[in-house]
Each structure stands twice: as structure tokens, then as C-alpha cells.
Amino acid sequence: MRAQSILSVLALATAVVAEDAPIIKDNPIGAQYQAEIKGKAPWEVAGSVKIASNAAGKGVTVEIALSGFPSEGGPFMYHIHEKAVPSNGNCTATGAHLDPYKRGETPLCDANAKSTCQTGDLSGKHGNITATTFSAVYNDDFLATIESDPSFFADKSIVFHLSNKTRIACANFVQLSPGNGSTTTTTTTTASASYGTALPSGGPHSGHNSSSSARPTNSDSTGAPIPPTASPTAAPTEPAGSGATKMVASGAALFAFVAVLML
Ligand SMILES: [Cu+2]
């Protein structure tokens, strides 16, 4: 009861700041990245995911060729996650989904309104994997091959899941070609906010979009202080430190609201 009330308030706060993902229109022609997937025992998923600038520079073309999905445990989902796979190969260290516009896990991604989905939710936007082998080629308008763009994916990772969220394979991207507009490497950009929740090893995937009950990935971002709502006209007349005071006051108001809900 109490937790639900708090989550309701936090969800409300998140909804206020969420935006639709913009269509990326100027991806450098020819930029190409590829992730080689090699499942770790007992999982045998193997193959590649290639993501390149769309020929017209509008979004990207995704080319997937995979085999070795288990005969049970599907349908399988896959996403761009917000962190790279560390050298030990731990898929749970990749955090939550790439979600620079902070739409969160709920409501579920509507494939007919892809701009409203998490940018990294590829299976939500383009369909789950429902067989032991999978190949597909499709366009996604919202992923960027521009390193400075919040929707840049190539310094992050791709993760595959069972329907119960278990992470069965993950890989980082390697640059095959920088394309015509880029001369730099892909290792430094970290544009997305680090709001993902660390998961226990082998634990469920908090960023998965079929869950309606647990929504832990929202907790960090929405637990941040509410920005002060100071008006420009009032600000100059107030003593230094008033911003902090307002922030505290806003937090107090939020918790008062929570307290009312719990009664
Ligand atoms: Cu995922």
C-alpha cells in the first residue's frame, strides 16, 4: 500500500518529464557498427547484429542473423542497454534500456507509436524473437550514429532475454566504418543519464517491458529532488541559498503528498 502510493507519485513525476524520441535525420552515411553475439553456456545464442546509418541518413538499418535460441523460454526480447558489457562478460552489468527521453517501462511500448517507446527497446518496436533462429532487416528511425546524440547506441550494448527477463546473451558494438561525417572514435560518449539500477547477478532484468509489477529502473531517476519551481521575477529578491531552500520545500511537499496518500 505504502510502496504503491509512493510509486504512483514517482510515476506521475516521471510522466511529466518524458518526451517522445525524435527521428534522427542526419546520421553520417556509411557509419556501421556490429555486435558479435556469442552465448555463454548454457546459452548458445550466436550470430551478429549490424546497425548502420540508413542510406538516407534517417535513423538506422538493423540487420540481425542469430541462431541457437532455446526451444523453450520464449518469446525472446532484445534491447540496446545503457552500458557496455564489461570485460568479464556479465550481462547484468549493462544496466537498463537505452531510454534518453525517460519514458520508462510503462505503459508497454506500442509498436504503432514507436517514438513513444524506449529508444533501446528494439523488440518492443520491431517484434520479439519467436523461434530458435532469427534473421531480420528493418529500419529504426530513432537510433543515432552521431556520437554526441543522446540516442547514440554504439558505445552501449545489445542484450537478449528469455521471456522471464533472464539475460541469455549480450555483446558490445565494434565500429566497422565511421561514415562520411565522423573522424573520431566511439569510446568516449556517455550521453545518457545513469539511472539504471544495478541488478544482482543472475537476477531478473529490471528493464524488461513485459512486467507490470516491478518497475525498479525508475527508482533512481525519479528519486532525485524535484527541481525548484522558482519564478524568474521572485528570484533576484531572495537571499543566496533560496534555491536550495525551495528544493527542500519541494521535497517536503512531495513527501507530504505521499503521506496523504497513505492515510
Ligand atoms: Cu534488455
- 52-107 pLDDT per residue, tens: 999 999 999 999 999 999 999 999 999 999 999 999 999 999 999 999 999 999 99
Q: What pLDDT was estimated at residue 48?
A: 98
Q: What pLDDT was estimated at residue 39?
A: 78
Residue whose C-alpha cell is 503521506: 259
Amino acid of residue 210: S
User: What DSSP designation does 42 have?
Assistant: T
User: What DSSP designation does 99 have?
Assistant: -
What's the 229 CA to ligand 1 centre distance in angstroms? 35
What's the 172 CA to ligand 1 centre distance in angstroms? 13
Q: Please report, rounded to a whole number, the percentage of residues in the chain having pLDDT higher than 70.
A: 62
Residue whose C-alpha cell is 539500477: 197
Least confident of 91-95, 154-158, 205-209, 236-240: 236-240
User: Do residues 93 and 206 lie in contact, with contact meaning Cβ atoms separated by under 8 Å?
Assistant: no
What's the 176 CA to ligand 1 centre distance in angstroms? 24
User: What DSSP designation does 152 have?
Assistant: B
Give the integer Cα–Cα distance in Å for 147 and 140: 17
Helix (H, G, I), strand (E, B) or coil at 92: helix
Q: Identify residues whose C-beta is under 5 A from ligand 1, the ion.
A: 79, 159
What's the 49 CA to ligand 1 centre distance in angstroms? 15
The per-residue pLDDT for range 113-162, each reduced to its tens digit, is 999 999 999 999 999 999 999 999 999 999 999 999 999 999 999 999 99
Assess whether pLDDT exceeds 60 at residue 197: no
- Average pLDDT taken over every residue of the chain: 75
Give the integer Cα–Cα distance in Å for 172 and 192: 16
The per-residue pLDDT for range 15-28, each reduced to its tens digit, is 446 789 999 999 99
What is the pLDDT averaged over residues 206-217? 40
Q: Please report, rounded to a whole number, the percentage of residues in the chain having pLDDT higher than 90.
A: 58
**For residue 75, cis peptide bond before it (omega within 30 degrees of 0):** yes
What's the 180 CA to ligand 1 centre distance in angstroms? 31
Q: What cell numbers appear for 67 in the block?
A: 541462431
User: Do residues 125 and 98 lie in contact, with contact meaning Cβ atoms separated by under 8 Å?
Assistant: no
Give the integer Cα–Cα distance in Å for 227 and 58: 34
What's the 151 CA to ligand 1 centre distance in angstroms? 16
Q: What cell numbers appear for 43 in the block?
A: 546459452
